[in-house]
Structure 1
C-alpha cells in the first residue's frame, strides 16, 4: 500500500544524513542498496499470528554514488507491506491493513519527515 501525501516523496537529501536520521528512527538499510538506489525498512510488530508489517522507504541517487557514500537521494512514496511467514512481504493495494497499523505507519513517517526538515534548516 502506498502511503501517499506524506511529503517524504518530495525530499532530496544527502545519503549520509539520511542514513543517520533513518537509523535514529529504527529504519534498517542493511544490504538493501545498489549504486543508484537505497531501501530502508521499519518493522511493525502485530498481535496477528504470523503477520508482521513493514514500512518501506525507497530512494534513488540523483547525483553521486550510493556505494561511495556521496549520493544525493530523491525519496519515493513510502510503502506499507504485510509479511506472511514464510512467503514474504506483500505491498499490494489489495492487501487488508488494519487502520491502527496504517496510522502508526503514517505517524512514524511524519516524525521522520519532521527530522529531515530540521536537517535542511
Structure 2
C-alpha cells in the first residue's frame, strides 16, 4: 500500500547523507539495490503468527552512481507491505492494514522525511 502524503516523495539527497539518516531511523538498506535505485526497509513485528510488516522507502539516482557512493537520489512514495512466510511481501491495499499500523508507518516516514529535508540537495 502506498503511504501517500508523508512528505518524503520528491525529496533530493546525497547518498551518504541518506544512508546515515535511514540507518539512524532503523531502516536497513536492501541488497536489491542497483546502479540507479536504492531501497530501505523498516521491520514492524506483529502479534500474528508468521506475519511481519515492512515500511519500504525507495529512491532513484538522478546523478552519480550508486555503486561508487556518489549518487544523488530523488525519493519515491513509500510502501507498507505484509510479509507472508515463506512467500514474500505483498504491498496491495487489500492486505487489510489496521489504522494503527498505517499511522505508525506514516509517522515513521514523516519523521525521516523531516531529517532528509534538513540535508536536501537543490536540483
Give the alignment's TM-score, normalised by structure 1: 0.95
RMSD: 1.3
Name the residue aligned to 1:91: 91
The 4+ residue runs of structure 1 with deviation greater than 6 A are: none
Secondary structure of 1:10's partner?
coil
Aligned length: 121
Whole-Å Cα distance in 1 between the matches of residues 110 and 60 of structure 2? 20
Query: Are the counterparts in 1 of residues 25 and 112 from structure 2 also a CA contact under 8 Å?
Result: yes
Whole-Å Cα distance in 2 between the matches of residues 45 and 82 of structure 1? 10
Structure 2 residues not aligned, in runs of 5+? none
Structure 1 residues not aligned, in runs of 5+? none
Give the alignment's TM-score, normalised by structure 2: 0.94
Query: Are the counterparts in 2 of residues 59 and 74 from structure 1 also a CA contact under 8 Å?
Result: yes
Secondary structure of 2:9's partner?
helix
